[in-house]
Structure 1
Amino acid sequence: MTSTKGASIPIQSVPNLRDIGGYSTRDGATVRFGRFYRSTHLSKISVDDAPRLADLGLATVFDLRTESERDAAPDSLPASVREVALDVLADKAYRSVPAQMQAVLSDPSIAQSMLGDNRALDYFLSSYRDFVTLPSAVASYRTLFTELAARATLPALVHCTTGKDRTGWAAASLLLLLGVDEDDVFHDYLLTNTQLLPAFESVFDRFAEAGGDPELLKQVVGVRLDYLKAALDHMRENFGSIEGYFADGLGIDAAGRESIRTHLLEG
């Protein structure tokens, strides 16, 4: 059992897989290890890594991808795992970045036309605000957190494609609800840059060889504090606090919020 907060789970075919446990709360409790994980999609698990994933003992996997993303790369899971598909971006008019991620990563002309001239930054700032108030996002995160209030849901894992944006908001809002300090929430969020970006080095190299700017891709594959701050600012503007977001934004009542804390905190 690991003892490092935000610890990476070393499964090579699932980069950015980590346990959100180990963070302390303002009340002196600690987020439990082995209860809730976050990762990239689970479609490329190798034969050697499949038993390691099974060893996590997952009961539930929450897949936050679009239908087209799921169809293109369906998860490969142990038979005992229940998968819950939650399309966070179903109501977003402009969804082409996640839907065309492979094309963006491989073709500099597509990447430039879609993301150049600060369009990447604008897209992600808009998306992170959408995570808070877009109807399909509200419905998806409501289902996720309602499920986490039920003990039988755990251990659970949440993922999208690269496990950083839709998944990043799920993890960040959960940690804030649990009472984790915002600095630690940002720490967990930024771990993507150290745990995921190295897995894309060959992609960056090929992109550069094709005439593209790898820094443009890093805006897409990595994370920036500005992204998460946009969601937090939008949350506070609309709901005042994390408690208000869960109560009024997602409709998770006080008993449900307390159940989540009971299941995921110790001490």
Structure 2
Amino acid sequence: MRTLAALALIMMTNVAMADDLLHLEPGASLGEAIGLSATGNLRDLGGYETSEDRTVVRGLLYRSNVFNPMSQDDIAKLRLLALKTDYDLRTVQEIKIQPDQMPIRVQQVHLNVLADGQSAASAQLEALLHDPKKANAVLGGGRLEVHIKEGYREFVSLPSAQRAYQELFLSLADKSNLPAVFHCTTGKDRTGWAAAALLTLLGVPRETVMADYMRSNEYLLPDYRKTIQAFAAGGGERGIALAIFGVKREYLEAAFDEMQRSYGTIENYFSDGLGIDEDQQQVLREIYLQDSPRAK
């Protein structure tokens, strides 16, 4: 009887918590809300309003940083999201170092955005933090910011990025794969462009998209405060560490500039750059948009 009562209490608690998650401020950390130890940048992509008085549906699609390390308690809490698919945008090496730790039934799909790129991934850049003097020589004086902006342009132009994002968005247009999450290492760069591109296609205003992107600073920088301070104390330029672990408007603006320069509009980027035609784009809108309550 005690066991049954305990199970019933857990189920009631989970139902109440799941309901609370649907009422979080758009862009708020789900990782913090459900008490996960390692995924502070886990967020629902839903809740944002479009310029046509529609709202992005909650509880279908999430963005995140890496799911490692995850305790058994973390994995149990993650089941609240009822995830079916985990889209991992990292490199093979990144996955080897930190494989995702997910509930058993979640299908893991690896989409290597940077397979064809020369840009260093976040994990490689982080390695330089152990040698502040070398980091200053290689990345200091604004060189890292230039490097990062070029990397964001490659999210649009790189063949492997186009293949990865094509597969991601086409897969997200299949309801049988939902709810789903997509992520990279810190959940801000490769993940940031994926979220920004989809929200823009759905009609979310640019400033709202930018605000969602910038919230990565809120959820990531506190976790890396000690690392940033140690790097600066060792003689490293503080701005280097902040650039590696945080985001700036100009990074995402570089990706949008590349998209507009090459394709003109977000719709053309999806159709001509990713091979996702108008009908498939409309399927994404039908799945992820609903009438806004205030429009009724």
Query: Same fold by TM (over 0.5)?
Result: yes
The alignment covers a number of residue pairs equal to: 266
* SS across alignment from 1:194: helix
Q: Per-residue deviation at 1:63?
A: 0.6
CA contact (8 A) 1:68 1:99 kept: no
Cα pair distance change 1:79/1:126, threshold 3 Å: same
Aligned to 2:23: 2
Partner letter of residue 119 of structure 1? R
CA contact (8 A) 2:70 2:101 kept: yes
TM-score, length-scaled by structure 1: 0.96
Aligned to 2:167: 143
Question: Any stretches of 5+ residues in structure 2 without a counterpart?
Answer: 1-21, 292-296
Following the alignment from structure 1 to structure 2, what is the Cα–Cα distance between the partners of residues 106 and 41? 21
2:88 to 63, 76, 85: 63
TM-score, length-scaled by structure 2: 0.86
Aligned to 2:230: 206
Question: Any stretches of 5+ residues in structure 1 without a counterpart?
Answer: none
* SS across alignment from 1:157: strand
Aligned to 1:189: 213
Q: 1:57-206, aligned counterparts within 5 Å?
A: 57-93=82-118, 95-206=119-230
Partner letter of residue 257 of structure 1? Q
Following the alignment from structure 1 to structure 2, what is the Cα–Cα distance between the partners of residues 99 and 217? 12
Partner letter of residue 223 of structure 1? V
2:273 to 246, 249, 256: 249
Partner letter of residue 59 of structure 2? G
Larger Rg: 2
1:219 to 243, 256, 260: 243
Aligned to 2:7: none
Q: Per-residue deviation at 1:195?
A: 1.3
CA contact (8 A) 1:2 1:33 kept: no
Q: Per-residue deviation at 1:97?
A: 4.3
RMSD: 1.3
User: Among the aligned pairs, what percent are the same residue?
Assistant: 44
Q: Determine if the alignment matches structure 1 residue 18 to structure 2 residue 43.
A: yes
Following the alignment from structure 2 to structure 1, what is the Cα–Cα distance between the partners of residues 121 and 135? 9
Aligned to 1:261: 285
Q: Per-residue deviation at 1:164?
A: 0.4
Q: What whole-Å deviation, never above 9, does each CA across 1:233-264 have from its counterpart, x for those lacking one? A: 11011111000101111011122111111111
Partner letter of residue 135 of structure 1? P
Cα pair distance change 1:97/1:119, threshold 3 Å: farther
Aligned to 2:13: none
Following the alignment from structure 1 to structure 2, what is the Cα–Cα distance between the partners of residues 185 and 14? 21
Q: Per-residue deviation at 1:99?
A: 4.4
* SS across alignment from 2:168: helix
CA contact (8 A) 2:123 2:185 kept: no
Cα pair distance change 1:110/1:36, threshold 3 Å: farther
Q: What whole-Å deviation, never above 9, does each CA across 1:55-98 have from its counterpart, x for those lacking one? A: 111111111111111111111111111111011111112x3343
